[in-house]
Amino acid sequence: MTDVRVRFAPSPTGELHIGGARTTLFNWLFARKHGGKMILRIDDTDKQRSSPEFLKTIFTSLNWLGLDWDEGPEVGGEYGPYFQSERLEIYHSEAQRLIKEGKAYYCFCTPEELQAEKEERRLQGLPPRYSGKCRRLSPEERKEKMAGQSFVIRILAPEEGQTIVDDLIRGPVVFENDLFDDFIIMKSDGLPTYNFASVIDDAKMEITHVIRGEEHLSNTPRQQIIARQLGYSIPRYAHVPMILAPDHTKLSKRHGATSVHEYREMGILPEALINYLALLGWSPGEDREIMSMDELIDSFSLEKVSKNPAIYDLKKLIWLNGHYLRTMELETIVLRALPFFEKDDILSEKVASYQEKERNRIIEKVVDLVRDRVKTLQEVVEASDYFFRDDFAYNPKGVEKHFRHKNAAGILDEITKTLSQVEPFAAATIKEELEGLSRRLNVSLGQINLPVRLAVTGRTMGPDLLEIISFLGRDEVLARLKRAKQLLIQS
């Protein structure tokens, strides 16, 4: 294979959505697998809808996912500029070349004229198709119209035969040429159409494989027609299947989070999202699901991309995320979780004021205790609050059950006494003493442990109680038991 060059070409008119992220990932994996180059090109000719903020979130999302590019904005390259808005001169001169070669022409038809033509064809039972009437203007007529009328540039499209897109995923897809009229390549505002700019850039940037969403398949024959007229060689094409919602409709906002940014805010790990995106329409076979980036690079191939739509499944993403949360290096998880702790202001002032290393060591311990029970970074934080602060509310059902019976106050007093005396204040000795207490009072161990858990965490469930107690330390545990006792007295 010649040196692979692929590109991702987002328009900065919105956030990076899972569809775009998946397209980038497939391009990226393909480039890495074949030792090729990944190019980022920004399709920003639509000035009205493009914005620097969207561009920034696209960069941030790609960086967060770990999908880097070898050429493009911020890194440069020999084939720049990489913003279409800075390449207008190139599109203009290629359009002029086509005109000179008689492969494109100026069209002065007004929208009303085009509408009338369309209507006439409709009455004759014909599909809408531009008649090509401006193709036949004499040089004088053209000159005259140029002086006062706005115009577009149309390309001469073949009227007969077929255009075949030899798709790497779908095989040959045949389009009858009578589907295409002489379509517009330069608009009346002097800007290129998407198809025209895209073909020129793909050729000038020496793109070998165009890997993009299936929604572009219908553009591809037009792009091949343009490429032929321009005398370019045609890259290989691969159209990856659509991503549909679970109800098999087009995925949209109403189905929940769809942008990379939103997943990040939910507490999804980039490793999990990458793994999930890879499986949207691609499968390595053998039922393998959990795969690292290196494994993905190793086994990725366009032949294994499915022709059928991929069904988006949030539950699976969350499941994968839970897996990564349980198995990844604690250090990495803590770094990822920190912004969530900070956002919800969970860390006590004391912990927040520690040196970074000490602070992270403490958070690591907490994350290690709670991570088996949660699936997102947001849930890590929600499950951790009582490790850092004592202003939590008590679970009302728990209060009813463990603080409201007649022996509750007495048991809490006994527990307090035991825990204030136990030496050393460590899991093993605490366990022994609490077991001894349950025997002495002739109550079950649950009647001891459950009120303690409720008093020190506000909850009826959670990680190992002894771990929690040893983490908090004697003073904190006694203070919390006292607070619980006060609750009992007040009520």
Catalytic residues: 253
68: exposed, middle or buried (C-beta count within 10 Å: 0-12, 13-18, 19+)? middle
List strands edge to edge, sheet with 152-155: 104-107, 152-155, 184-186
Pick between residue 49 and residue 343 the one whose CB is nearest to ligand GLU.
Answer: 49
Cis peptide before 158 (omega within 30 of 0): no
Residue nearest to ligand GLU (CB): 43
Q: DSSP characters for 364-387?
A: HHHHHHHGGG-SSHHHHHHTTHHH
- Beta strands in 279-377, from DSSP E residues, in sequence order: 310-311
Q: Which is nearer to ligand GLU, 13 or 418 (CB)?
A: 13
Assigned token pair, 76? 């440069």
Q: Is residue 304 classed as helix, strand or coil in its secondary structure?
A: helix
Among 45, 163, 198, 384, binds ligand GLU (CB under 6 A): 198
Burial (0-12, 13-18, 19+ Cβ within 10 Å), 120: exposed
Distances (CA, A) of 365 to 12, 197, 361: 41, 54, 6
Cα(212)–Cα(194) distance, integer angstroms:
14
Residues 128-187 that bind ligand GLU (CB under 6 A): none
Report the residue number, 22 or 212, with the smaller CB distance to ligand GLU: 212
Taking the complex as a whole, the smallest distance from the CB of residue 216 to ligand GLU amounts, in Å, to 5
238, containing H or E segment: strand 236-240
Each residue 335-354 as x (binds ligand GLU by CB under 6 A) or -, in order, gives --------------------
Least Å from the CB of residue 207 to ligand GLU: 10
Supply the minimum distance, in Å, between the C-beta of residue 192 and ligand GLU: 12
CB 183 within 8 A of CB 158: no
- DSSP character for 400? I
Any contact of residue 212 with ligand GLU (CB under 6 A)? yes
Give whichever of 45 and 449 is closer to ligand GLU, judged by the CB atom.
45
Of 209 and 212, nearer to ligand GLU (C-beta) is 212
Q: How far is the CB of 258 from ligand GLU (least distance, A)?
A: 15
Q: How far apart are CA 158 and CA 229, in angstroms?
A: 10
- Per CB under 6 A, contacts with ligand GLU among 24-43 are 43
Please identify, among the stretches 3-11, 247-255, 415-423, 457-465, the one whose residues bind ligand GLU according to the rule CB under 6 A.
Answer: 3-11
List the x/- string, 7-26, binding to ligand GLU by CB under 6 A: --xxx---------------
68/72 Cα distance (integer angstroms): 10
> Which CB atom, from 16 or from 369, has the smaller least distance to ligand GLU?
16
What residues numbered 43-82 form the site for ligand GLU, per CB under 6 A?
A: 43
Site for ligand GLU in 297-336 (CB under 6 A): none
| Comparison of 108 and 196: residue with beta carbon closer to ligand GLU | 196
Q: Where does this chain touch ligand GLU (CB under 6 A) — which range of 4-12, 155-163, 172-180, 382-390?
A: 4-12
**CB nearer to ligand GLU: pick between 12 and 322:** 12
Shortest distance in whole angstroms from residue 311 CB to ligand GLU: 21
CA distances from 22 to 27, 62, 244, 299, 419 (A): 9, 11, 13, 16, 54
CB of 210 to ligand GLU, least distance (A): 6
Cβ-based nearer residue to ligand GLU, 4 or 481: 4
By C-alpha distance, which of 211, 109, 122, 89 is closest to 152?
109
Minimal distance, residue 10 CB to ligand GLU, in Å: 5
Shortest approach of ligand GLU to residue 236 CB, angstroms? 14
The structure tokens listed for 382 are 């929600």
Spatial separation of the C-alpha atoms in residues 29 and 110, rounded to whole Å: 46
**What single letter denotes the amino acid at residue 417?**
K
Number of residues that bind ligand GLU (CB under 6 A): 7
CB 456 within 8 A of CB 478: no
**Residue 185 Cβ vs ligand GLU, minimum distance, rounded to whole Å:** 15
Is there a contact between 293 and 274 (Cβ–Cβ < 8 Å)?
yes
Only one of the segments 5-13, 30-38, 130-138, 156-164 lies at the binding site for ligand GLU (rule: CB under 6 A); that segment is 5-13
- Give CA angle at 214 (210, 219), nearest 5°: 70
Residues that bind ligand GLU (CB under 6 A): 9-11, 43, 198, 212, 216
